[in-house]
Amino acid sequence: MRRSRRGIIPGLLVVSILAGCSASGPTVLVKPGVTPSQQKADETACIEASIGVVQEPRPSPLPPVDREAYERCMRTKGYSPAQK
């Protein structure tokens, strides 16, 4: 079975956000009662909204994603930081 590129690109973008350089590491955002498919749709929408917000050029094959803009977007959708 052949994998769709459409499914791979959002996955790579999520990985690039989570692998972003930060001393504190990525913030894990959760929303009680959300289905995995809805969470993926929300993440994809927020990633797409956050692409291109970063103005500095980066040597990366992936488009730059502003992690703060991504987190703000997810919070407006009802997600909050996971309790440690």
pLDDT of residue 55: 61
pTM of the shown model: 0.62
Tens digit of each residue's pLDDT (9 = 90 or more) over 38-64: 999 999 999 989 887 666 666 667 777
Q: Number of structural domains, the chain?
A: 1
What average pLDDT does the structure give for the chain?
A: 76
Dihedral over Cα of 25, 49, 52, 37: its sign = positive
pLDDT of residue 44: 94
Q: Which helix (H) or strand (E) holds 13?
A: helix 5-18
- For 36-69, letters b (16+ CB in 10 Å) and e give eeebeebbbebbeebbeeeeeeeeeeeebbbbeb
Range of 14's domain? 5-81
pLDDT of residue 21: 45
**How many whole angstroms separate alpha carbon 20 and alpha carbon 54?**
13
